[in-house]
Chain A
Amino acid sequence: QVQLQESGPGLVKPSGTLSLTCAVSGDSISSSNWWSWVRQPPGKALEWIGEIYHSGSTNYNPSLKSRVTISVDKSNNHFSLKLTSVTAADTAVYYCARTPQRASVHDYWGQGTLVTVSS
């Protein structure tokens, strides 16, 4: 059974950097899947942030591209998200998810972690 688990600070100061890690179990991060980050502000809709392949290839949401970096750690089977210059608008539940080879959807999700941007 594929499982994903997000971890990282739950509180980030404005103008700071949000850093999260997603640990993957039950699948190799070097498999033929992409690995994504999706966020959801409280009471609002889902927003795709970006994705990474084990080769290091990345794709980002154009609206966040200037502030986002996604990286992969194959030795530890996890991938990470960094979002710089955060504001209150970046307060959200952050999910990591798998995008399978069969279709560009998200078939396995982490439970999500709430990140609050506040001083």
Chain B
Amino acid sequence: DIVVTQSPDSLAVSLGERATINCKSSQSVFSSSHNKNNLAWYQQRPGQPPKLLIYWASTRESGVPDRFSGSGSGTDFTLTISSLQAEDVAVYYCQQYYSTPQYIFGQGTKLEIK
């Protein structure tokens, strides 16, 4: 089974500064049939359901602010928030969907304001 590990488990960033969250898969999630990486990012604010931010590793979901970006390929991926806003306080999850129908989430990264 593919294991997905995020780092760090938590981080604190000042408002307006850059936040970076990493996600590492135990196996490549690159799909040659789609020529894309099967990796998504979600944001979960306190008391709310998860919200899809990024899929195919770097495609922003409709309506997601452009300060959110995804990068990486194969086994190593990054979610970057270019300028942290107060409403970005949340737990962020990566998810691989290469081994569908077995969807696997990372353990989550808690993002706070410094």
Contacts and interface: CB of A to CB of B under 8 A. Distances in A.
Given A45-B93, A45-B107, A107 B52 contact: yes
B49 A112 contact: yes
B40 interface: yes
Contact of A48 (B40, B49, B102, B107): B102
B52 A46 contact: no
Given A45-B107, A45-B108, A106 B50 contact: yes
Interface string B42-80: 100000111110011000010000000000000000000
A109 B49 contact: yes
Q: Which of A47, A60, A105 has the most CB of B within 10 A?
A: A105
A105 B95 contact: yes
A61 interface: yes
A45 B40 contact: no
Interface in A3-42: 36, 38
Interface of B: 38, 40, 42, 48-52, 55-56, 61, 93, 95, 97, 100-108
Interface of A: 36, 38, 45-48, 51, 59-62, 95, 97, 103-107, 109-112
